[in-house]
Amino acid sequence: MKWETVIGLEVHVQLMTRSKIFSGDSTAYGAAPNTQACDVSIALPGVLPVMNREAARLAVKFGMAIGAEINRTSVFARKNYFYPDLPKGYQISQYETPIVGRGSLEIDPGDGPKTIGITRAHLEEDAGKSLHGSSGDFTGIDLNRAGTPLLEIVSEPDMRSPAEAVAYLRQLHALVRYLGISDGNMQEGSFRCDANVSIRPLGAAELGTRTELKNINSFRFVEKAIRYEIERQIDILEDGGTVVQETRLYDADRDETRSMRSKEEAHDYRYFPDPDLPPMVLEDAFLAEVKESLPELPHDRRHRFIEHYGLAPADAAQLTNERTQADYFEAVAEATNAEPRTACNWILGELNAALNQEGIPVEASRIDSDALAGLLDRIADSSISGKIAKDVFSAMWNGEGDADSIIEARGLRQITDTGAIEAVVDEVLAASPDQVRQFREGNQKVIGFLVGQVMKKTRGKANPKQVNETLRRKLDA
């Protein structure tokens, strides 16, 4: 039997606020355990939550970016469950009336664009963290994260493969960083994913029984966990068994999922409106302010890069994945006389290689946009060749100065004088009678050897195009 996979994702995004969603505690990462947990965070009797306006602004910003319905009035609810790192015995979340309603996100998993529906995005507080093995045989509780603002983004079950799920996650991750609503740091828990996976006979309309894979914190593990779970469910059904609705954990070391607990339904949490928080009402002025703050979105910027700069779709997509990289490219493209595609190639090639080697973002680059534009100008006006430009780039990266000063100090300026090039070409031809004969007998490939000899004699400074043209003219004479 042929099977179809059905995948829906729930992504928890930590919002980039300085304080928690209902208190003034800091959200800074890495503090000593329980040093950022005030009376609200640890749920002392009689304390009251106060909504963080910035968290609401960031949530609305996301909703507008995905073309979603923004609910002018949203309600906070208590989600009741008992766990050591949840001091109140309930989590403040949103249930029936979230701040962000239906929207969508376009992805391209490699076989063409596809639109993934987003059911909702709701605000909620994070729980604390259990520290296993930190105190001998005991489990420690760190409440620094308790109350950290989260935006839970729930997709429709529109994905049909692990590749589509990863493409959706990457696009979502890029978007929240692009908007500046989250740093998206997966290692620090700022971007966490739960995957709901089920299978059904190909062509069937009814959904199969789903399992939930919890808290997966890397794109690679999301793909591997979903792939394993698909195979596990197929094996169960083809052996005549029944898939059980449950929550499962992914063990990266064993590359397998294992049962954690039976899957709860909404009624298990006994949701009810939080009596300490009134409905949140968004005014027109607030919504207008958020809309005004939206940057040009990645999808729109990608299309503009293709149309205005003539970039290939794949290059435009890569450049616009990160807002800072897109800004850097535009700054270079506008400052140089070189073709925009040349700027694109250098950023995605030499610059990204240098950044990756040192593990730094483009905003920390040792070569700013004006400096790279200056280097590309020297290629465009034939002062240096592309090959020599790579040596100049390395020198610039190592702090030896700008392109012009390095070119002059090292004597790298390209030889473009026709007479000088002809003299070296004549010398090479005279010393290479066998290659000259082979070329004239039809072996066109030998031209590469002759060009190489000229470049060697000029220490790479002769203009390659002029060398090639001069050689062919003299060989054809």
Structure tokens at 205: 């309309």
CA within 13 Å, CB half, 339:
5
CA–CA separation, 430 and 436 (whole Å): 9
What mean pLDDT is reported for the chain? 91
Give the pLDDT confidence of 79-138 residue by residue, as tens digits.
Answer: 998 888 898 999 999 999 999 999 999 998 888 889 999 999 999 999 998 887 766 778
CB of 366 closer than 8 Å to CB of 373: no
The helix/strand/coil state of 276 is coil
Residue 476 confidence (pLDDT) above 70: yes
DSSP class of residue 140? E
Give the pLDDT confidence of 207-232 residue by residue, as tens digits.
Answer: 999 999 987 888 999 999 999 999 99
The per-residue pLDDT for 118 is 98
Give the pLDDT confidence of 299-325 residue by residue, as tens digits.
Answer: 899 999 999 999 999 999 899 988 999
The per-residue pLDDT for 42 is 87
Global pTM reads 0.82
201-238: b (≥16 Cβ within 10 Å) or e: eeeeeeebbbbbbbebbebebbbbbbbbbbebbeeebe
CA–CA separation, 199 and 189 (whole Å): 29
Instruction: Please name the helix (run of DSSP H) or strand (run of DSSP E) that holds residue 281, with its range, or none.
Output: strand 280-281
Helix then strand then coil, % of the chain, to nearest 5: 40, 20, 35
Give the pLDDT confidence of 351-374 residue by residue, as tens digits.
Answer: 999 999 999 999 999 999 999 999
CA within 13 Å, CB half, 36:
20
Average pLDDT rounded to a whole number, residues 73-78: 96
The position carrying tokens 């994913």 is 193
Confidence of residue 477 (pLDDT cuts 50, 70, 90): low
Closest CA to 329 of 310, 172, 91, 262: 310
Confidence of residue 168 (pLDDT cuts 50, 70, 90): very high
Give the pLDDT confidence of 6-32 residue by residue, as tens digits.
Answer: 999 999 999 999 999 999 999 999 899
Confidence of residue 53 (pLDDT cuts 50, 70, 90): very high
The per-residue pLDDT for 134 is 64
The per-residue pLDDT for 263 is 65
The per-residue pLDDT for 463 is 77
DSSP class of residue 266? G
Structure tokens at 128: 């604390």
The 3-class SS string of 90-114 reads: EEEEECCCCCECCEEEEECCCCCCE
The 3-class SS string of 382-412 reads: CCCCHHHHHHHHHHHHCCCCCHHHHHHHHCC
CA–CA separation, 188 and 416 (whole Å): 54
Closest CA to 188 of 9, 12, 347: 12
The per-residue pLDDT for 171 is 92
Query: Which region among 147-156, 276-285, 301-310, 407-416 has the lowest average model confidence (pLDDT)?
Result: 407-416
The position carrying tokens 């994702």 is 9
Give the pLDDT confidence of 135-153 residue by residue, as tens digits.
Answer: 677 888 999 999 999 999 9
Residue 420 confidence (pLDDT) above 80: no
Average pLDDT rounded to a whole number, residues 420-440: 82
Partners of 251 in beta bridges:
256
Give the pLDDT confidence of 248-265 residue by residue, as tens digits.
Answer: 999 888 888 988 877 666
Confidence of residue 461 (pLDDT cuts 50, 70, 90): confident
Confidence of residue 392 (pLDDT cuts 50, 70, 90): very high
Average pLDDT rounded to a whole number, residues 58-74: 97
The 3-class SS string of 172-193 reads: HHHHHHHHCCCCCCCCCCCEEE
End-to-end CA, the chain: 71
The per-residue pLDDT for 435 is 84
